[in-house]
Amino acid sequence: MIAGVFIGYKMKDGIPGKSFFYMEKRRPIQEILDLIENKYVDQVNLTSITDTAIQALLAKLDPHSTFIPAADLSAVNDDIKGSFYGIGIEFEIFDDTLNIINVLKDGPGFKAGLLSGDKLMEANGITLAGKKVAADSIRKILRGERGSSLQMKILRNAKVLSVEVKRDIIPLTSVDASYMFDSESGYIRLNKFSSQTYREFMMALEDLNKAGMKKLVLDLRGNGGGVLEEAVEIADEFLEGDKLITYTEGKHVPRKEFRCRRQGQFEKGKLIVLADEGSASASEVLLGALQDWDRALIVGRRSFGKGLVQEQFDLSDRSALRLTIARYYTPLGRSIQRSYANGEKAYYDEIVKRYSDGDSMIADSVQLKGKKVYSTPSGKKLYGGGGITPDYSIASDTGKIDIALAKVYAKGTISRFGYQYFLNHRNIVNEYKEPALFSKSYQVTDADWNDFVNIASRDSIRLDSLKQEDKDFLLRSLKASIARQLWRNNGYFEVYNESDKTIQKARELLK
């Protein structure tokens, strides 16, 4: 026994966080939680209190270190993974009824016979029609283990049908759209960087190369980032040699460099990359690398300004912590991260302030005043901090937004019009065959506009006092909404991009 005590005493320094006989003082946060659990006057949900306390703790660090409760972790991981197990439908809730607006071709729902226009009444005994159910709650009902069954009741042509669907893998695609502007100019839009993004991007790039593409517009607007390595792989397709793409470094993380490793598929063609305040993180890694090496022109608005790297740590209760462990830097050594010294609210309010400032080159020059200046190989001047500043700035529309126009978007009225138009004109796809022909030839008629006005009125939205420019904008949006129903996102962006100012500028620069 004496020998054991002696050995234990000698080993005490090797036991992390424990002193001999565990005489270490407990942290006040744990003491407080114990007192609440054992002494508080009412029964409390200690898990909820703990989650709130953790969020408050992380708020003192930086805006991007986050705690993910166990209930939310699966959905978060699905987005990174780029897939989930479900039935393969897209839905919208109109008048408290879940409408299936699209069925993934060759997916589980498609094989079970579901059609666009079906109304989902019940799923596994849970009534979904006639009451307000949050979209997130519906997704949790529809998703499940691979191979598991979902018993559904649907309404089709006034008849109730019973359908059984076997859940299977459903991709969350990163490529929103990919098509040719003309005989030599292509377009690819990425909405995120998941673990499948590089594979999807290469498939799109190869198809465009086969179509004769010599120039490319890569659209990263609204792309909030994701998996860093996927952005690095895509950068490698544009940069030659063993050029540095980015590097990361932190107090407890040594410098790690990411370099080109192979010959890329588009190292020579003219390249334009689109960005805005929604382009963040991994998007900025790609933007920074291409700008630093003079490989691409950046068009649009200043990017978000997130230069922090998070690592996910799984916790014992199946929750997770995404903790900032390093900063990333562009090849020239620029840190893109904006200051968060004034707290999280001020940090995110800065994005809103860009709109009030006009988000023009003037506003950007104010933002960049006093920043460290870097020079590219061609001698172009770049700046660190505050995001990636575009080479050609396209200011956002800062005019006063009509209240009716804002309501139309908030209530999904445009999507409802596109869906109902499709149900009443299913053969339209046979007439136009492809988005390019639809974009060139189709026009929203006065009768279509009146239908839209009637739909809006059911949502308590009056459109009789719209300015002409707002009406023109809505007409373009209605046309794009119909195209989405016919050809999904690819059709939507091919039609919508025809009147997009940023796209128009990019195409001018390609000439």
Q: Which residues of 6-30 are buried (b: 16+ CB within 10 A; e: fewer)?
A: eeeeeeeeeeeeeeeeeeeeeeeee
Q: Which helix (H) or strand (E) holds 270?
A: strand 270-275
- CA dist., res. 141 & res. 165, Å (int): 13
Provide the CB-side half-sphere exposure for 119 (13 A, CA). 18
3-state SS, residue 266 = coil
Question: Which is it for the CA torsion 350, 352, 355, 359, positive or negative?
Answer: positive
Q: Judging by beta carbons within 10 Å of its beta carbon (0-12, 13-18, 19+), is residue 5 exposed, middle or buried?
A: exposed
CA-wise closest residue to 189 among 178, 203, 173, 205: 178
Strands 297-300 and 392-393 turn out to be parallel
Q: Which of 283, 303, 310, 481 is catalytic?
A: 310
Distance spanning both ends of the chain, measured CA to CA: 86
Active site residue 310: yes
- CA dist., res. 53 & res. 48, Å (int): 9
DSSP one-letter string for 96-154: TEEEEEEE-TTSHHHHHT--TT-EEEEETTEE-TTS---HHHHHHHH--STT-EEEEEE
Q: Which of 192, 215, 306, 505 is catalytic?
A: 306
DSSP character at residue 193: B
Q: Judging by beta carbons within 10 Å of its beta carbon (0-12, 13-18, 19+), is residue 442 exposed, middle or buried?
A: middle
Active site residue 380: no
Helix axis angle for 282-292 and 228-236, nearest 10°, is 30
Q: Which residues contact 1 (CB under 8 A, 6 or more apart)?
A: none
Would you say 260 and 203 are in contact if contact means Cβ atoms under 8 Å apart? no
Q: Which of 185, 194, 279, 281 is catalytic?
A: 281
Residue 429: what are its φ and ψ, rounded to 5°? Answer: -65, -30
Widest CA span of the chain, in angstroms?
96
CA-wise closest residue to 451 among 428, 418, 483, 477: 418
Active site residue 281: yes
DSSP one-letter string for 342-381: T-HHHHHHHHHHHHHTTSSHHHHHHHHTTPPEEE-TT--E
Residue 468: what are its φ and ψ, rounded to 5°? Answer: -60, -40
Would you say 194 and 174 are in contact if contact means Cβ atoms under 8 Å apart? yes
Q: Show which residues are catalytic.
A: 281, 306, 310
